[in-house]
Each structure stands twice: as structure tokens, then as C-alpha cells.
Chain A
Amino acid sequence: MNRAALGKAAEDAAVALLQQHGYRVIARNVRLPGGEIDVIARDGNVIAFVEVKARAGPTFGRAVAAVDGRKRSTLRALAADWLQIAAPAARARFDVVTFDGGRAALHRGAFA
């Protein structure tokens, strides 16, 4: 499986995982100037911006580690842009869904 297909499969699996956890998915692959948000979902009354990361194997470390400082600050900026229009008064949170060689994990409030 190539990298793009791995990412796409991971996003599909992540959406299923989020739904299992009671999230309602609002939008996927939200393209904004400056980047893309993988999944936007509602967890109760909170908007969750979800980053999906997958690693096919252990060679390059764990997937969580790949959501680095730069990625986090990008996501913060993108989320702020989206929220300003979609839901200015909403409470929001950043979650990360990771897949390490097929093992899924949901990190609620992975960063702020």
C-alpha cells in the first residue's frame, strides 16, 4: 500500500473509530488556505478537530510523534479560521487518531 492509500484508509478507519466513540462527523478533508484538517467532528457540545496519523511500521517512530510543534500550530490557525465562520461561540478541542501498524488509538485533547 502506498503512502496516500495508507493515509486515506487511516482516515476512513478514524471516522469509523470516532463514530464508535459517539462523535458526529461534520466534515472531512477541510481544505483551508494554509492546509487541511483531516476530520471535524462533534463530541457532545465540543467541536473536535481531528488529525489522523498512520505508520505502516515502526521504522520512523510512533505516529503521535509526527504531530509535531509545527503541525500543531498549523492546525490551531486553521481551526481558528474555520471556527470564526462555522461556529464562533463553540468550544473546541484537538484530538489525534493514530495507527501504528494497524493498532488504533484515539487521543482526546491531544494538545491545546
Chain B
Amino acid sequence: MTSATQSRRKRNALQRERRRLERLHRFEGRAHAAGHRLVGGIDEVGRGPLAGPVVAACVVVDGPLRLRGLNDSKQVLPERRLELADEIKATVVAWAVGEASVAEIDRLNIYWASILAMERALAALSVQPGYLLTDAVRIKSWSGPQEPVIKGDAKCATVAAASIVAKVHRDMLLIALDQDYPHYGFADHKGYATPRHIAALSTHGPCAEHRRGFWRVRAAWDLLPGFVPPDDEPRTRFA
């Protein structure tokens, strides 16, 4: 391969990335153009896992986020995600995270708990955005204008940035949780239902950080293996 071809390919790749980032700002750009100087993006992570809190993050920007590789947290490699989280926090006008605990998830259900986490993230912001982009949810308690974007974490730079900040924060929490409950492998799977996690759940039963409303956790509750005779009130055994 000639060096001319190489440099052309590199240039093309850079241009492609620039165009992608531009597209990633179409919602933010529209909001800025409509006169909102500060645009916020909010997203949540950790709806699916069997254990641990659900975490939301919100970022507020006053202009485009030109960060290489910025994308939905699930599309970014873990190492790059850590770097990006730092770059995002250094670039944005304001950012904050909010959490909802396992007890709250069990009480409210996972959807409303994730909304609660988002409300907490908004409340924790030092600067409130004038316009809010969300990942397909409507936050009723938010008084300002908001726009739910379907697949927002893949379409809006701010929502993608929020998803990365939230993901990195939640991963950190689960790594800390792994110290308290070492049986399950929280540091690896972050509470998601991997075969290893399910096997551990089956062997050791659920811990206090497992979401009891989730059927897999319930099933582990119903009967521990080795045929431990169930008590009269089996569900309260770990309460």
C-alpha cells in the first residue's frame, strides 16, 4: 500500500468521524438554534441487571461536544469509556449523577426508579439546562422544555455523554460492591445476568443488593439448592 493511499484513508476516516459527530448534534443544534444556550442530555444505566442501583447522569453543554469516539455507552469499549468520561466531565458546563437504590427499585419498579435517579441527577446539577434531551422518557417533575428522543443514547451527543458518565459511575459502584459480596462476580458482569452470575445466585442465594422484584432473584429466593427444607415463610428467609 502506498503512503498516498494510507493518508487518503486516514483523511477519509477523520472526515467520517467528523460527520458522525455533526449528526450526533442535530438535536442539540436545533435546541441551540431555538435560543436555548444550555442544553442538557440525560440517560440512565442499569435497568437490566439483577443487582445494584440504577444510575442516571445528566450533562449540560453550551456548544458541541467534539470528542472522538463519543457514542452510546454500550458501543464504546470499556477503556475508551473511562477516558471519554473524564473528557466529558472536563468539557461540559455541568454534570451530575443520581442513583436509586435496590430498595427503591423493589418498591417502585425499575422504570420509576430510573426516573427517580434521573430526577436526582437533575437536582444535583449546579447549572440547570434550558432544554432537556432524554432517552425516550418524559420526566414529569421537570418544569422546563424536554424532548424524548427514541434511541437518544445513539442519536444525541449529550445523551450519549450522559450514558457514558452514568455507566462509568455505576461500574465503579459495582466494583466496590464486589468487595462486600465477593461470591457473585459483580466486578466482571456489573450485576447483569451472565451465566456465572446466575450460577452464583443459584448456589449462594441472593444478597441484600439483589433486586427482589426480578424473577431470577425471586427464583433463587424460593429454594436454595441442596434441598434446604423451606421454612414456613420461605420468602422472608433473607429479609
Contact = CB atoms under 8 A, between A and B. Distances in A.
Interface string B191-202: 000000010011
Contact of B227 (A27, A32, A45, A85): A45
A30 B227 contact: no
A26 B219 CA distance: 10
A90 B198 contact: no
B198 A86 contact: no
Interface size class of A (residues with CB under 8 A): 20 to 34
Interface majority SS on B: helix, strand, loop or mixed? Answer: helix
Interface majority SS on A: helix, strand, loop or mixed? Answer: mixed
Interface size class of B (residues with CB under 8 A): 10 to 19
B235 interface: yes
Contact of A27 (B201, B216, B234): B234
Interface in B204-233: 215-216, 218-220, 222-223, 225, 227, 229-230
A87 interface: yes
A31 interface: yes
A40 interface: yes
B97 to A, nearest CB: 30
Nearest to A89: B225
A87 B218 contact: no
Interface of A: 24, 26-27, 30-33, 40, 42, 45, 47, 81-82, 84-90
